[in-house]
């Protein structure tokens, strides 16, 4: 249980800076000129996003990649089946590379174990069934969903 709790805290560590860069007014950073999603051309936000994309996020992603390698099962906690930590992390990783200007869509390409985590989670029968019932199918190369044909 403690390991899963720690992994869930990793999600906060990974995404805290990105969340602040999206919504700086919620955290007091509008005082230094950051505009986040209110102004997509804000130079202060762009500087923060560049730092996140080239240093901060890769450092955290490498740490998660190592956790997956050390666990040996493909799941974050090293368990035989996914835990709540996997189900928390996967949609956030998808969001990371699909909904955040200044964060390259290719960011996860350097982390094959994280890519596999996303793909394996999205291939679980219950997950596939859930999205099928919504008329959607997962598209692994884009980390997004398409309407079923």
Q: What is the pLDDT of residues 4-22, one digit of tens each?
A: 999 999 999 999 999 999 9
Rounded to an integer, the average pLDDT of 51-56 is: 96
Report the sign of the C-alpha dihedral through residues 37, 103, 33, 13, in that order: positive
Segments in 23-143 forming alpha helices (H) = 43-51, 57-71, 84-98, 112-122, 125-133
Q: pTM of the prediction?
A: 0.91
Q: What is the dihedral of CA 92, 81, 136, 94, to 10 degrees?
A: 20
What distance in Å separates the CA atoms of residue 15 and residue 24, rounded to the nearest whole number?
14
Rounded to the nearest 10 degrees, the angle between the axes of helix 57-71 and helix 2-22 is 160
The pLDDT tens digits for 57-85 are 999 999 999 999 999 999 999 999 999 99
Give the residue from 15, 26, 25, 39 showing the smallest Cα distance to 95: 15
């Amino acid at each position: 249980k403690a390991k899963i709790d720690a992994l869930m805290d990793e999600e906060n560590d990974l995404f805290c800076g990105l969340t602040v860069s999206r919504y700086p007014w919620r955290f007091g950073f509008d005082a230094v000129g950051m505009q986040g999603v209110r102004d997509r051309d804000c130079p202060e936000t762009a500087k923060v996003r560049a730092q996140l994309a080239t240093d901060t996020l890769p450092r955290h992603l490498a740490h998660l990649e190592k956790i997956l390698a050390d666990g040996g099962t493909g799941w974050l906690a090293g368990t035989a089946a996914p835990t709540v930590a996997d189900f928390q992390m996967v949609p956030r990783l998808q969001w990371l590379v699909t909904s955040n200007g200044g964060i390259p869509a290719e960011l996860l390409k350097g982390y094959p174990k994280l890519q596999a985590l996303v793909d394996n989670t999205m291939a679980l029968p219950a997950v596939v069934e859930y999205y099928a019932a919504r008329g959607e199918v997962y598209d692994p190369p884009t980390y997004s969903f398409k309407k079923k044909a």
